[in-house]
Amino acid sequence: MTGVLRPWTTLLLLTAVFVLANIDRNILAILLPSIQGEFALADWQLGLLGGFAFSLMYGIGGIFVSFAADRSNRSRIIAISLAVWSMMTMLCGAATSFVQLLLVRAGVGLGEAGCSPPAHSLIADLFPDDRRALALGVYAAGASAGLTLSYLLGAWLVQEYGWRLAFVAVGLPGVLLAPLVAMAAKDVFRARTRVAVFSSALRGAFTRNVALIWKDRVLRHVFIGASLAAGVSASTILFVPTYLMRTHQMSALDVGLALGLLSGIIGSSGMIIGGWVADRLGRTDPARRLWVAAAAKVIALPALFLFLTVDDTTTALWLYAFPALVGGIWLGPTYAAVQSQSPPDSRAMGAALLLLTYNIIGFGCMPLLIGAASDIVQRASGQDGLSSAMLLLVPFSLWSALHFLLGSRHMRRNAVPL
């Protein structure tokens, strides 16, 4: 019985860590209007703060962490990373300028680089191929749960205590949880000889894996599709709270409650259901798992478009429920594709390269693009340009879906089991 429960117990603990990671990462979104007011920031600076400041160090750091994770104790790496990013989150509350906050947010990104690559690798070793997308979907649901708590806690904390104490309050639990993770999340043995590990290191794991991924047409399209999908998700998470406060005159607390419920209950359910559907379809045809990712990016577009154009606040929130439901479904099938296509001793590196790609291109570039577009529209029209800028997310979603479909087509041609 213990052997049956152990994978799920470890998965739940890793998911809890991922929840904390997403709280610390996403709480900035609900705090942005207060920070923008104090430091007199333009929208492009908000995009830089919520995008590149975090994602660049997150992506680059993930490469080095994944190299270690493929060769050492993954649970210990996760625990150390948890302590680091939690302390850096607390330090965000001490920033006295935009530049200081930018640098500390980069530190949060560097710390969180040690979360998902080793966690993906560990989950892939704990679960068989036919349950991997579901397991990774459960793990990915931690993103919605963390986003929910970031909205709810952030809204209440910023209203009652200000944005500085909000950072301190959400960072503290991670510092306290890190020792438990180090002791309780046991790693599993991976059958590799020391010679194989050593020779792999000598050949240069990073260069080798980049070359393998770029030659693999399935992974190439998955990486591009994931980067575009991540950019849409990041821009939505970052700017929707500000959009609702500006356009619909909602308070931070009302926005936090509304988005918290939508992102948490609905968003988490969507990720888990998406992983389950992808596994069911993938049993007869592995390529269909990427169909699920593509479909999720397309079917949300009408509701997203209407959300950004209607005047009634209640109607807008009801419309946003559908993008919240399906917006993260692409994560489970994407993670599963990368883990299944990567060699067993390079799974953490595969996850890290995925994170590097979609963090720099998606999380880094797209929020900055949306923020800059908002500033341009505002200067040209004299009115707030955020809603117009966010309409750019519609064609980017379609572009993402196209690459997921191309990846599924090559997967079927190659007949590689996912």
**What pLDDT is recorded for position 17?**
96
Distance (Å, whole) CA 29 – CA 40 = 16
| Confidence check: pLDDT of 369 > 90 | yes
pLDDT digits (tens, 9 = 90+) for 293-307: 999 899 989 999 999
Interior/surface letters 138-157, b for 16+ CB within 10 angstroms, e for the rest: bbbbbbbbbbbbbbbbbbbb
Other beta carbons within 10 angstroms of residue 335's beta carbon come to: 28
Distance (Å, whole) CA 379 – CA 253 = 30
Domain spans, the chain: 2-185+193-414
Q: At what angle do helices 2-39 and 129-160 cross, to 10 degrees?
A: 40
pLDDT digits (tens, 9 = 90+) for 252-261: 999 999 998 8
Question: Closest by alpha carbon to 90, among 157, 14, 182?
Answer: 157
Distance (Å, whole) CA 79 – CA 89 = 16
Grade residue 358 by pLDDT with cuts at 50, 70 and 90: confident
Look at phi and psi of residue 384 and say left if phi exceeds 0, alpha if psi is from -120 to 50, else beta: beta
**Torsion sign across C-alpha atoms 132, 137, 140, 146:** negative
- In one letter, which amino acid is 143? A
Read out DSSP for 9-56? HHHHHHHHHHHHHHHHHHHHHHHHHHHHHHHT--HHHHHHHHTHHHHH
Mean pLDDT, the chain, whole residue set: 85
Architecture field, domain 2-185+193-414 = Up-down Bundle (1.20)
**What pLDDT is recorded for position 327?**
82
pLDDT digits (tens, 9 = 90+) for 28-69: 999 999 999 999 999 999 999 988 889 888 878 877 887 777
Q: Which residue has the higher pLDDT, 120 or 166?
A: 166
pLDDT digits (tens, 9 = 90+) for 189-203: 554 434 344 344 534
CA distances from 391 to 156, 274, 304, 386 (A): 29, 25, 8, 9
Question: Closest by alpha carbon to 23, among 228, 227, 179, 168?
Answer: 168
For 178, counting Cβ atoms within 10 Å of its Cβ (0-12 exposed, 13-18 middle, 19+ buried), the class is buried
pTM for the structure as a whole: 0.81
| Confidence check: pLDDT of 333 > 90 | no
**What pLDDT is recorded for position 204?**
59
Widest Cα–Cα separation across the chain: 66
**What pLDDT is recorded for position 52?**
86
